[in-house]
Amino acid sequence: MTEAENTEHLTGKVQLSEIVHGIYRICHPPQNYPIGFNQFLIDDERPALVHTGFYHSYDAVRAAIAQVLDPKRLAYVIIGHFEADECGGMDRFVQDAPDSVLVASELGAGVNLSHWNYSGPVKGMRDGDVLDLGRHQLRFWETPHVHHWDSLMVMEETTSSLFAADLFIQPGDQPAVVKEDLTKGMIGFYRKAGIFAHEAPVRRVVDRIEKVNPGWIHPMHGGSFGREIAPRFYRALREEPFAYCGMLRGRQLPDGAL
C-alpha cells in the first residue's frame, strides 16, 4: 500500500494513515490550534517514532501505534527539536519501550536534554549520521534555526522520505496526502506565527532539499506531498517574505520588539 487514503483508520480523534510502505502518519486534526499535529511511525525490525506529540497526547498516539505494532518494540524515539509538540511525550514512550533510545541533534542532546529532568538513554546525531532500522535507513540533517537552534531533519533513504518538522506547514485540516498548492496558507501562517527569525537559514535548507529531490516530504503540520508539487513549496519560500516581522501567533508586538 503506497497511498494514505487506502489505509486510513480512526483512533478516536486521531487519524492513522500509511503514506508510503512502512511509514505511517498519526495526526491530531486542528482543534484549539489552526494546524494539525503529526507524528510518524516507521514500522521495521527496529521501529522508530518521529515526533511524540504533546505530553497529554501520549495515550492517543500510543493507541495509534498499537494498531501497527506493539509500542514496547519501539527502538528509537526521534525528536527534531526541543518543543512541547515535538517531544512532550518523549519520557513516556522511552519508559514504555525498555530497549528504546531517544534521538536528537547532538546540540539538542547536549544543551537541552542533558540538563533537563530526563534520565533515559539519549543519542545525539550530527549531520550525515545514519541509523539503520532494517529495511529503512535514516540519515540526519542538522538544520539550525529552521526553526530552532537545535533543529534536525531526517531523510529516510529507502523510500526517499524527508521528515521536515516545521518546514512546509499547511494550516487547516489537511488529508494525509495533499496534491494541491497550499503555499499561500503556509506563507500566511509563518508571517502571523513568527516562528522563523530570518529567511536565509530556511532558504539554504530549501536549496539542500531541492538538490536531493526527495520522493516524499512529511511535514509535522499538514499533509505529506510528493515531488510533483514540491517545487511550488520551494518557490514560495524563495520568493515570498515569511520571517518574523513583529507578529507572534497573530499578535502584533510594539515596534521596539522587532
Block residue for cell numbers 539542500: 208
Helix (H) or strand (E) holding 110: helix 106-111
**pLDDT digit string (tens) for 31-66?**
888 999 999 999 999 999 999 999 999 999 999 999
- The three-point CA angle 181-31-37 to 5° equals 60
What distance lies between CA 225 and its chain's CA centroid?
A: 13
**pLDDT digit string (tens) for 176-204?**
999 999 999 999 999 999 999 999 999 99
8 A C-beta contact, residue 80 and residue 63: no
Report the CATH number at residue 226. Answer: 3.60.15.10
Cross-strand pairs, 254: none
**pLDDT digit string (tens) for 155-183?**
999 999 999 999 999 999 999 999 999 99
Residue 102 has pLDDT above 50, yes or no: yes
3-class state of residue 5 by DSSP: helix
Please compute Rg for the chain using Cα positions.
17
Domain enclosing residue 187, as ranges? 4-257
In angstroms, rounded to a whole number, what is the distance separating the alpha carbons of residues 167 and 174?
15
For CA atoms 61, 68, 27, 122, the dihedral sign is positive
8 A C-beta contact, residue 196 and residue 147: yes
Count of domains in the chain? 1
Cell of 122: 539519549
In angstroms, rounded to a whole number, what is the distance separating the alpha carbons of residues 91 and 63?
17
* DSSP label of 179: -
Cis peptide leading into 51, omega within 30 of 0? no
Look at residue 257 in the predicted model and tell me its pLDDT.
66
Averaged pLDDT score across all residues of the chain: 93
Look at residue 244 in the predicted model and tell me its pLDDT.
95
Residue 200's contacts (CB-CB under 8 Å, 6 or more residues apart) are: none
